[in-house]
Structure 1
Amino acid sequence: MAVGETRFPVMPVIEGLRLGTAMAGIKTPGRRDLVVVEVPEGGRVAGAFTRNAFCAAPVTVAREHLAACATRGEGARYLVINTGNANAGTGETGLRDARATCAELARLAEVEAASVLPFSTGVIGEPLPMERLLAGLPGALQALDDGPAAWSEAGEGILTTDTRTKGASVTLTLGEATVTINGIAKGSGMIRPDMATMLAFVATDAAIEQSLLDRLLREAVERSFNCITVDSDTSTNDACLLIATGRGASVADGEALERFREGLAQVMTELAQAVIRDGEGATKFVTLRVEQARSRQEALDVAFTVAHSPLVKTALYASDANWGRILAAVGRAPVEAFDVDRVTIDLGEVRLVEHGGRAPGYTEEAGSAVMAREEIEIRIALGRGEQEATVWTSDLSHDYVSINADYRS
């Protein structure tokens, strides 16, 4: 089940970048579950990772290897991603397996082990089936290609409970040159990224210095993947990578930098919203806009309080215009000296709340008509300042419970 019609785009070539996918049988025989991404020499890689204290072994190793690359003044050369097993909650064995995966790929590709970044997604607490995973690496390397099919297969090869692949692409004109930004992502449940089970890999042919690449990634993640939630659970494996192959136009400052920043934001936002549209059991795509806050953080606190309310989410699923649930969630958000008389709440084009209570013009018929839509916008104005934030979420359905109750069976 997913909300809205989305198609995986035809991805342009990112010069210097290749992707290969294999069927290693890590969890389910006969499905793509192992992806290798090759970054050219001279390329640069930036990463943002989960803040979950029980971060998965591959997250720990990827951080270590990125730091080692930075010390050497080089970029990572390979990414290796498996689905079907998160390699999280696996202790020293998990770390050893993640490092062994990197070492084997490095041996096959004739690079340093620290030049390989590992990523995993799937069931937590079970050891990686190393024999099958390592046996799949030669096939993934042999399949390396830069064409649209390679991107599509890689998008499929990172999925878990997702019902569809997620991709986005934009080509930008920078003066007389062009640069392309492609991205793929996976995520459906356990979605409340806090990077600073979701994976995203974005690549560009632009030439960007490492410090600027790091900053661009942090900025884009903060207003895209860090603004989505399906179920308020932050995964042990969340990671978002931004790769710049350096084969295209230089992006450093001025208008070129601003155009690139806008294009990156577009790709990252499309991917983040695609995760919500494919949220486990989702039947609604909900945009929560909080305005007139004293700070962006205050606006986010209010938006996430509403987005995480089980009562609000079940009302959305039922198309029940129970506006009191939204009002109650706003009221319990961590906002100091809250003057509820200044708050307004709108459901689409329908005013729900003003002056501390139900809006005089509100009718149940009008509210129900908006709630029946697949895509819903809730606007909350706090009347306290000029800052704002937008969060995207989904409803909470019977299917979400069933998917997660049956996840390991």
Structure 2
Amino acid sequence: MHQPSWPLPGVGKGTCHRIHFTAQVQVSPAFGAYPLSLSARDSTVSDHGKWTVVDGGVSAARGFSSAGVEARLRYRDRPDLGIIRCSERAAVAGVFTKNRFASPTIQHDREQIERSGGYARAIVVNAGNANAATGAAGLEDARAMTDATAAGLGIPAEEALVSSTGVIGEPLPMDAVGAGIDAAVAALDGGGNGDFPRCIMTTDTARKEAAVELTINGEAVRVGGCCKGSGMIAPNMATMLAFVTTDAAIEPTLLQQMLRRAVARTFNRISVDGDESTNDTVFLMASGLSQPVETHTEAGRRFEEALEEVCRELAKKIARDGEGATRLIEVQVTGAKDEADAERAAAAVAESNLVKTAVYGEDANWGRIACALGYSGSEFAQENVAIGIGDVRLVEGGVRVEYSEEDATAQLKADPVHIAIDLGAGAGEATFWSCDLTEGYIEENASYRS
């Protein structure tokens, strides 16, 4: 009989394993196929001696500035429109939603990236209105937003991109949008401000940022970003916007490849409620003001590790800020037949409403975990399975072992809650993040438009 080591590697220590699988995302044809600030001082981005955590988020890298302003599109007394600007003609990569009701902003961004050959200087973003299910008029509004941004910044029209988030099916109040763009441009001309991460929030309770600095060929290279997302979160990036920047010099095709891999291992491994949004977008811009990064090089490998770490940290912050959530759940599967099987098992457990409510209720009901494993589609023999929460072993050889309910309950009070599973079927492993499910989720979504 398979005998797993216990606790599993990293469980209870707050560490996460890197995972790899095929991303189910669509990319631009141009490339082929409030209150809480999460800063360097309180960020959980790891420092393994490979990089240093820094402040600045999406504006940390050289060449980038950002600003958020109050356009009063839906919200009052808070910023709800913003712009990221690059002083250079930056290489850009994008990964977008698979939802068939995709916002016209997605179509427009793909067209813009193709026209520019994979370069951009600005991204304009609004919150409160998704500009989705708005037809031809919505596409014209998306174009008007990038045209106004480009005119205000004095850049070519095709080098501005757009993202929107909020209520679906309502037309944008374009007079307010235009005034907001003018105000954001003025703020950028004044040096920018720190409100961009806040201006993209909808039901989010915290601004979400991360940035690191590493050394390549003796020169500092930074990777930073910010994101939004709290509800309508599922694999394939659902309802989230993420903006990542770097001062590395990377050509667009390689940048796209790196972003696709990072998204597959991070943003596509989170879930709050299983709903995939119409507007999901991840952008990565590279100003080229620091060292060059090329494929199949040590510099390329180290840069991609840092990029993945920033994306992972942003993704975890989205899962932790799930609507009504009180804690993050991290499901780590080892001993699977392969990585794809590990991913299926981890996703099934993390997305199970029964598991999520058990975590909220601090009930160590491991039978719900076993049930989710059973329908996950992963191949294993139940007599080889081990399950634990934190450092408390609950199941070994597919059956309950003696454990203290008090100790198990104590592990469920942690944040994050670590669920460890060894399938005893091979060497595959994967990690997936979600959050507990509470009454607050229902309350938040029952009154979203009010």
- Tell whether 2:111 aligns with 1:59: no
Matches of residues 256-271 of structure 1 in structure 2 within 5 Å?
256-271=299-314
Matches of residues 209-224 of structure 1 in structure 2 within 5 Å?
209-224=251-266
Q: Say how many residue pairs are matched.
A: 398
Specify whether residues 195 and 319 from structure 1 end up closer, same or farther in structure 2 by C-alpha distance, changes over 3 A only: closer
> Unaligned regions of 5+ residues in structure 2, if any?
1-35, 41-54
1:39 deviation in Å?
2.4
| SS in structure 1 of the partner of residue 209 of structure 2 | strand
| SS in structure 2 of the partner of residue 141 of structure 1 | helix
What amino acid is the match of 1:181? Answer: V
1:297 deviation in Å?
1.8
| SS in structure 2 of the partner of residue 76 of structure 1 | strand
1:16 deviation in Å?
2.0
1:47 deviation in Å?
0.7
For 1:266 and 1:146, locate their aligned partners in 2 and report how far apart those are by CA, in whole Å: 32
Provide, for residues 267-286 of structure 1, a one-character-per-residue CA deviation record: whole Å limited to 9, x for no partner.
Answer: 11111111122111111211
1:224 deviation in Å?
1.1
Matching residue within 363, 370, 388 for 2:404: 363
Matches of residues 369-408 of structure 1 in structure 2 within 5 Å?
369-408=410-449
Q: Is the 8 A contact 2:238 2:277 kept in 1?
A: no
- Tell whether 2:281 aligns with 1:239: yes
- Tell whether 2:39 aligns with 1:8: yes
Q: Is the 8 A contact 1:14 1:146 kept in 2?
A: no
- Tell whether 2:53 aligns with 1:25: no
Matches of residues 165-204 of structure 1 in structure 2 within 5 Å?
165-195=207-237, 197-204=239-246
For 1:353 and 1:54, locate their aligned partners in 2 and report how far apart those are by CA, in whole Å: 43
Matching residue within 135, 140, 161 for 2:184: 140
Provide, for residues 101-159 of structure 1, a one-character-per-residue CA deviation record: whole Å limited to 9, x for no partner.
Answer: 12222233333332221100011111111111012111111111697x73x31111111
- Tell whether 2:141 aligns with 1:97: yes
For 2:182 and 2:60, locate their aligned partners in 1 and report how far apart those are by CA, in whole Å: 23
Partner of 1:88: 132
1:225 deviation in Å?
0.8
Q: Is the 8 A contact 1:155 1:185 kept in 2?
A: yes
Q: TM-score, normalised by structure 2?
A: 0.84
| SS in structure 1 of the partner of residue 89 of structure 2 | coil
Matching residue within 228, 251, 257 for 2:293: 251
Q: Is the 8 A contact 2:366 2:387 kept in 1?
A: no
| SS in structure 2 of the partner of residue 35 of structure 1 | strand
> Which deviates more, 368-377 or 82-91?
368-377
For 1:305 and 1:317, locate their aligned partners in 2 and report how far apart those are by CA, in whole Å: 17
> Which deviates more, 83-92 or 348-357?
348-357
Specify whether residues 255 and 36 from structure 1 end up closer, same or farther in structure 2 by C-alpha distance, changes over 3 A only: same
For 1:69 and 1:128, locate their aligned partners in 2 and report how far apart those are by CA, in whole Å: 26
Q: Is the 8 A contact 1:65 1:116 kept in 2?
A: yes
Q: Is the 8 A contact 2:60 2:211 kept in 1?
A: no
Partner of 1:39: 86
> Unaligned regions of 5+ residues in structure 1, if any?
none
Matching residue within 168, 181, 199 for 1:124: 168
| SS in structure 1 of the partner of residue 109 of structure 2 | helix
Q: Is the 8 A contact 2:217 2:291 kept in 1?
A: no
Q: Is the 8 A contact 2:238 2:280 kept in 1?
A: no
Q: TM-score, normalised by structure 1?
A: 0.93
1:196 deviation in Å?
11
Q: Is the 8 A contact 2:37 2:207 kept in 1?
A: no
1:13 deviation in Å?
4.4
Provide, for residues 292-350 of structure 1, a one-character-per-residue CA deviation record: whole Å limited to 9, x for no partner.
Answer: 112222111111111111111111101111111111111111134x4111111111111
- Tell whether 2:69 aligns with 1:69: no
What amino acid is the match of 1:218? Answer: R
What amino acid is the match of 1:8? Answer: S
Identity of aligned residues (%): 45
RMSD over equivalenced CA pairs, Å: 1.9
| SS in structure 2 of the partner of residue 133 of structure 1 | helix
Q: Is the 8 A contact 1:21 1:144 kept in 2?
A: no
> Which deviates more, 152-161 or 364-373?
364-373
| SS in structure 2 of the partner of residue 408 of structure 1 | coil
For 1:68 and 1:334, locate their aligned partners in 2 and report how far apart those are by CA, in whole Å: 42
Matching residue within 92, 97, 100 for 1:50: 97
Specify whether residues 362 and 201 from structure 1 end up closer, same or farther in structure 2 by C-alpha distance, changes over 3 A only: same
What amino acid is the match of 1:105? Answer: T
Matching residue within 321, 325, 336 for 1:293: 336
Specify whether residues 16 and 386 from structure 1 end up closer, same or farther in structure 2 by C-alpha distance, changes over 3 A only: same
Matching residue within 337, 362, 383 for 1:319: 362
For 1:224 and 1:185, locate their aligned partners in 2 and report how far apart those are by CA, in whole Å: 13
